[in-house]
Amino acid sequence: MAAIVRSPRLVLGLPTGRSPLTLYRVLAERSSQARVNWSGVRTFNLDEFVGLGGADPGSYRAFMQSALFDHIGIDAGQIHLLDGRAPDLAAECARYERAIAAAGGIDIQVLGIGANGHVGFNEPADALRAHTHIATLTLGTRAANAQWFGNEPDRVPAHALSMGMATILAAREIVLIATGAEKAAAVSGMVSGLITPRLPASFLQLHTRVTVMVDNAAWGQKSEP
Ligand code: GLP
C-alpha cells in the first residue's frame, strides 16, 4: 500500500488463493476511503487455468475481480491476466512475457506458496521452466484448488498457464505470504533448505529482496493449547 502511494506507476504481480485475501481486503478498504490511488498502477497475475474464460466463476480472473478489482479504482486496461482460452497457448505465454517487459518489469511480486512448495503453478519437478508456460497440475494442487470448483478436484482444470521461475525472480521485490500449519514444511524448505526444483519456492533464496510474511503455524510453531 505504502509502495503504491510512494510510486503511483507501480507494476504489481499478484497471486490468487486464500493467502492474499487479507491483503486484498485491506487494499479494498483503503481504496474505498480514497487512500490509495490506483490510476497509474498496472497488475500482472501469476497464473490462470487453461480452458477457463473470465466469465467462468472458477477462473482466476473471476477470483481477482471479486477479491480485489471490483473494489478499487482500476480500469480493465491496467489489469493483465493470462487468457486460459487463448487459441494458441504458447503464443499467449510469449505475449505475456512481452507485456511484462513492455511495462518495465514487475516492481513488487506478491506470492502465495503451495503446501508442496509450488509458486504460481511451478510445480515440484525434476526441472523447472524459466518463463511463462503451460503447466500440468499435480493431484494435490487440484485438490487444494477444489474449493473454487464446488469441492470437486476432478472439476479443477488439469493444466494452467503460469509465470516461470525466471519471470518471478526478475521482479525487483518479492513478498510471499503463507498461513497455516499445512504450509510449514514448504516454508521451512524455502527459507533454509537446499535450492531444488523439488521445492520451487526454494529458488527465492537466489533473490536479494524477499519478504516472507507468515503466521506462527506456517512458521512451524505450535499454537498454545
Ligand atoms: C494455488 C496458486 C498459487 C497459490 C497457491 C496457494 O494453486 N496457483 O498461486 O499461491 O496455490 O494457495 P492458497 O493461498 O489458497 O493456499
Chain segment 71-85, per-residue pLDDT in tens? 998 999 999 999 999
> 185: CA distance to ligand 1 center in Å?
15
**Percent of the chain scored above 70 by pLDDT?**
96
From 14, 18, 19, the mutation candidate for ligand 1 (largest count of ligand atoms within 8 A of CB) is 19
> 108: CA distance to ligand 1 center in Å?
17
State the Cα–Cα distance between residues 24 and 21, nearest whole angstrom. 5
Q: Could you say which of 116, 159, 207, 215 is catalytic?
A: 116
Using an 8 Å Cβ cutoff, are 165 and 185 in contact? no
Catalytic annotation present for 154: no
Q: What is the pLDDT of residue 1?
A: 63
Residue with grid cell 482466476, as numbered in its chain: 60
Catalytic annotation present for 159: no
Strands (E) located in the chain: 11-14, 42-45, 47-49, 79-80, 108-111, 133-136, 159-162, 173-178, 210-214
> What is the number of the ligand 1 atom nearest to the C-alpha of 180?
16
State the Cα–Cα distance between residues 36 and 3, nearest whole angstrom. 10
State the Cα–Cα distance between residues 13 and 200, nearest whole angstrom. 18
State the Cα–Cα distance between residues 124 and 110, nearest whole angstrom. 20
Is residue 176 predicted with pLDDT exceeding 70? yes
Is residue 6 predicted with pLDDT exceeding 90? no
Chain segment 20-32, per-residue pLDDT in tens? 999 999 999 988 8
**pLDDT band per the 50, 70, 90 thresholds, residue 225:** low
Is residue 5 predicted with pLDDT exceeding 90? no
Residue with grid cell 497457448, as numbered in its chain: 89
Is residue 8 predicted with pLDDT exceeding 80? no
